[in-house]
């Protein structure tokens, strides 16, 4: 089937932010009193959802909003180091040319998202819902659906985390899970992803039904 609306997460989906997050992880850990994560733990963490990660690292959930705000501001100072995932810009342009509406729902700051997308790709988006709380994506996805008068079954949400898959499922949207971000493809599939994508080039055919 074809989809009328394609909604994208930003970090790890549109943009290759994972290397940057890894580079500042110890700094954030020191600032908020969290133990450092060894590289040997990365694979295990890629199978976890946010609640499991917080338990594993003993992070107080009440501190998460402040941590997220700090990371967004920290990224803003180094935003020139962040680039789109190779092939994603062409996929967005092709979807737009095919008449698919595009939107962003992300926990990152709007200024960061727009800076990395650039003026041209930002101009293709019919909606930006940014600065979204850790578990606030279902509400924002519903808002975008209502804004565009689109039925949930006519839309797909693309993300790289288990919470993205769960957010899409919560509102009745299809979930496009990408494997180039945080969670592993296996974990995303296990949590009910509609389609698992291995490369941006695969997105256009699925969304347009061709």
pLDDT tens per residue, range 145-164 = 999 999 999 999 999 999 99
Q: What is the pTM of this model?
A: 0.93
Report whether 150 contacts 158 (CB < 8 A).
Answer: no
pLDDT at residue number 25: 87
pLDDT at residue number 110: 95
101 & 135 share domain? yes
Q: How many domains does the chain have?
A: 2
pLDDT at residue number 134: 82
Residue 65 scores a pLDDT above 80: yes
37 & 94 share domain? no
d(CA 184, CA 196): 10
Rounded mean pLDDT of 62-90?
93
92 & 27 share domain? no
Q: 54: domain range?
A: 19-81
Residue 43 scores a pLDDT above 90: no
Rounded mean pLDDT of 41-56?
90
126 & 176 share domain? yes
149 & 202 share domain? yes
Rounded mean pLDDT of 105-125?
96
- At which of 58, 81, 104 does a domain end? 81
Report whether 117 contacts 109 (CB < 8 A).
Answer: no
104 & 190 share domain? yes
pLDDT at residue number 69: 92
Worst-scoring range by mean pLDDT, 37-46, 114-123, 134-143?
37-46
d(CA 131, CA 129): 7
- At which of 37, 63, 81 does a domain end? 81
Q: CATH number for the domain including 140? A: 3.40.50.1000
d(CA 122, CA 127): 9
Token readout for 185 is: 């493809």
128 & 191 share domain? yes
Report whether 132 contacts 105 (CB < 8 A).
Answer: yes
- At which of 57, 81, 105 does a domain end? 81
């Amino acid at each position: 089937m074809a989809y009328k609306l394609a909604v994208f997460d930003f970090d790890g989906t549109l943009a290759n932010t994972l290397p940057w997050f890894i580079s500042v992880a110890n700094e954030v850990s020191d600032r908020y009193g969290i133990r450092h994560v060894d590289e040997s733990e990365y694979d295990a963490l890629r199978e976890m959802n946010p609640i499991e990660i917080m338990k594993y690292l003993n992070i107080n959930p009440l501190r998460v909003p402040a941590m997220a705000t700090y990371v967004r501001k920290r990224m803003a100072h180094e935003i020139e180091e962040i680039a789109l995932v190779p092939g994603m810009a062409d996929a967005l342009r092709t979807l737009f040319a095919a008449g698919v509406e595009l939107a962003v729902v992300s926990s990152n700051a709007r200024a960061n998202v727009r800076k990395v997308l650039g003026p041209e790709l930002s101009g293709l988006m019919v909606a930006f819902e940014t600065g979204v709380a850790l578990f606030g994506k279902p509400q924002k996805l519903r808002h975008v659906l209502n804004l565009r008068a689109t039925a949930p079954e006519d839309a797909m949400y693309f993300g790289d985390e288990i919470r993205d898959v769960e957010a899409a499922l919560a509102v009745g949207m299809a979930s496009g899970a990408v494997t180039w971000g945080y969670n592993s493809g296996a974990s995303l599939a296990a949590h009910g992803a509609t389609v698992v994508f291995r490369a941006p080039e695969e997105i256009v055919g699925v969304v347009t039904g061709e």
